[in-house]
Structures are given as structure tokens and as C-alpha cells.
Amino acid sequence: MRCVANLLANPAQLDSVRIRCCAELLRTAVERAVARACGAEDSDQPVQALLLSLPSHVDADVAYDASQLWHALSRAIRHHGYELTPTVEELRGWHADTRDVAAALHSTLALSGTIDLPEGIR
């Protein structure tokens, strides 16, 4: 993410190839955060499978945001020649979203079940 931030500091040097490279770096950061949240850092599971199981590990809204961001970055990376290249403003937004999603995935835990407290603690 630092590399993308450095490139965003000088947007004049961002051509279509560098914008797609930045989107690839951001998508990789999202993938790593998702894998960490699912406890699958050393796994060969596809990201799509991890995204499907993510709501069982974190808050549903965070899982949705991560999935939407990953799909947006995937579309940006694999766009066709007849499509418009993502803009620097879109890249800035994805950079901010990636930072927010990665932080939310790091700190959010989904709890299930009940916790019984001893009488003296209530």
C-alpha cells in the first residue's frame, strides 16, 4: 500500500499501465487481509471461496465491503481495450477503501453463541 501511496503522491506519472499495477497491488492487499481474517494465510484456497466464508469470520457489512472492493479491483485489472482506464480519482478511492477494509478485517471478530458469566461477575 505504501508503493501505491507513493505513486499517488505524483499522479502525473500514472499512466494506464501503472494504474492497473496499483489496482493489482491493492487487490493483493485485500486478498491477504481476507486470508488472515479467515485464518487461511498458508492455504491454497481461492480468494472467491474465502470471500464466501468471510461472513462467518467477521461482521457481514465488513465482509460485503471486502467482497465489493475485491471485485471492483479485479474489474479494473482485467479491463478490455475498449473500456476506459480507471482514473486517478478512482485509484485514490480504492486506496482509501483498501486501507479501511484491511483495518476492519484486522480488528473485527464475529462472535456467535452465548457467554455464561459466573454469578459474582454480573
3-state helix/strand/coil string of 21-56: HHHHHHHHHHHHHHHHHCCCCCCCCCHHHHHHHHHH
Q: pLDDT by residue (tens digit) across 72-109?
A: 999 999 878 788 889 999 999 999 999 999 999 988 54
- How far apart are alpha carbons 101 and 58 in whole angstroms? 11
Query: Residue range 42-65: average pLDDT?
Result: 94
Q: What is the distance of C-alpha 120 from the center of its chain?
A: 43
Q: What's the average model confidence in pLDDT over 106-114? A: 58
Mean pLDDT computed over 42-63: 94
Q: What percent of the chain has pLDDT over 90?
A: 65
Place of cell 503522491: 9
pTM above the 0.75 mark? yes
User: How far apart are the C-alpha atoms of 21 and 18, rounded to whole Å?
Assistant: 5
